[in-house]
Structure 1
Amino acid sequence: MEKILVPTDFSPTAGAALRYAYFLAEATGLGVEVLHVHDGYGYSAFRRAKKGGLEARVNAQRKLDRFIRFNLKIVPAVATGGFTEPEVNVSSRGIIGSPTKALLIASRRADTCMIVMGGVGSGVADAATPLFGSITRRIAERAACPVLLVPEGYGTPVMKRAAIAFNWIGALRETSIGFDFLRVALGPAMHLVHVRDFMHVTKIREETALLEKILNTEFPGYPVQLDLPEPGVTAPRLLAYAHDKKIDLLVMGRRNRSLFERLFLRSEIGTVLKNGGTPMLVIPISHA
């Protein structure tokens, strides 16, 4: 069964990511797997404890179980004496190792449809769990599957309006195809957003040709609104755009020389996630 992978460090933002993943799983019929990558000592106060021993595995699994029950509100069922079962197939596992390496490997598995995780700047640091936010960018940059980044302080999942941010028509087509499995399942009102560069003559011509190409074709094949925020620095413009248009999800393709790369290299993605409150879906694409 294909699944949505949710890495956790047990922080509130990881909890928000789990709730978002569950929301997507209900709509798509996918399963959810919660993954905790730890150092193998199981939160033991005794550092002489055997790495990867029974205590470590049991303690990690207990924390996973509590985390899932708390965030999905799975409560004891009085009638049965057990626990209420979630409507989505939710599984969990703890593994020992490097979080970045483990998640990149998991992203290449055939049954991993996407990763949903807390965004830049989130996370809880302790002896057993490295600072989660520090690996978020590496996963978003290198994962083989789509990665959905949930901002710090995010509340109830909503998907009424989604916007695909783009620079080039080829990348836009591929990103749109990559988003189809969620678009079809959730049916949000769709926007295409292009943040125009500062108005240099050459840029004006390039962008005019780009927009004419979009408008003169039948792409993307579903109702869409084309939005053109005022020229400026990409992240602040996207931030203001998402707020003004009440966008629930920003979608972008990830490739060399892409809009995604511009945001990350300038460290502007943290501004979008931390201050904007808008989740972001990063889809790996091959178009150059």
Structure 2
Amino acid sequence: MSTVTSKPIQRILFPTDFSPVANAAFGHAERLAASTGARLIVLHVQQGLATVGPINDVDRETIRQLRAVRPRHRNLDVSRLVYAGSPGETICWIAQEAQCDQIVMGTHGRTGLINLLMGSVAEHVVRHARCPVLTVPTRARNESPLPDPAIELRMPHAQPL
């Protein structure tokens, strides 16, 4: 029987593709890092390259975008990485190798056929990561609130004591 131990969060991985979805999730990663004193690792994974692994010769635009992922809290310990490979696999591997305690990432919230055809990096990470994953969905500002749930109340028949 395994026991669950609660250890402090020391390293948080924040994967980004520089999209508005990722940008929205960064606030959550930043607040979590600030409240726990954890190191924040910002990771960008480039796919479609001939190599797999760390990229040392990063193009200027990627460097600019990485530097733009800047926390408002000045005392945060932030490092930035660029890797080549499959995003889902690379995110899980980096989290494992860096001994991250948490992954915080945005999700596009695609469902159905689009998700089946395109795949979902967030879904891959949730299924394969060796640490907890916080996914932050994006919602339209004008999205209607959830309806009240349909609740069926069933009263059990009184049983004699």
- The answer, yes or no, to whether TM exceeds 0.5 is yes
**SS of 1:66's equivalent?**
helix
Aligned to 1:37: 45
Letter in 1 for 2:32: L
Q: How does 1:135-284 map to 2 (within 5 A)?
A: 135-153=121-139
Aligned counterparts of 1:66 and 1:9: Cα–Cα separation in 2 = 13
Aligned to 1:70: 68
| Deviation at residue 146 of structure 1 after TM alignment | 0.8
Aligned to 1:111: 99
Aligned to 2:34: 26
Q: 1:139 to 1:119 in 2, by over 3 A?
A: same
Q: 1:138 to 1:40 in 2, by over 3 A?
A: closer
Letter in 2 for 1:18: F
Aligned counterparts of 1:5 and 1:109: Cα–Cα separation in 2 = 11
**Percent same amino acid among aligned pairs?**
34
| Deviation at residue 199 of structure 1 after TM alignment | 5.8
**SS of 1:57's equivalent?**
coil
Query: Given that residues 89 and 125 in structure 2 are in contact (C-alpha distance below 8 angstroms), is that contact kept between their aligned partners in structure 1?
Result: no
Q: Structure 1: which 5+ residue stretches go unaligned?
A: 42-50, 75-84, 123-130, 156-194, 205-288
Aligned counterparts of 1:120 and 1:88: Cα–Cα separation in 2 = 27
Query: Given that residues 33 and 91 in structure 1 are in contact (C-alpha distance below 8 angstroms), is that contact kept between their aligned partners in structure 2?
Result: yes
Q: 1:62 to 1:196 in 2, by over 3 A?
A: same
Greater length-normalized contact order (CA 8 Å, ≥ 6 residues apart): 2
Root mean square deviation of aligned Cα: 3.6
Normalising by structure 1, report the TM-score.
0.38
Letter in 2 for 1:114: Q
Deviant stretches of 4+, over 2 Å: 65-74, 106-111, 195-201
Q: 1:198 to 1:154 in 2, by over 3 A?
A: same
Q: 1:70 to 1:154 in 2, by over 3 A?
A: farther
Q: 1:153 to 1:34 in 2, by over 3 A?
A: farther
- Counterpart of 1:5 (choices 13, 26, 29) is 13
Query: Given that residues 21 and 108 in structure 2 are in contact (C-alpha distance below 8 angstroms), is that contact kept between their aligned partners in structure 1?
Result: no
Q: Structure 2: which 5+ residue stretches go unaligned?
A: 1-8, 111-117, 142-148, 157-161
| Deviation at residue 93 of structure 1 after TM alignment | 0.9
Query: Given that residues 17 and 150 in structure 1 are in contact (C-alpha distance below 8 angstroms), is that contact kept between their aligned partners in structure 2?
Result: yes
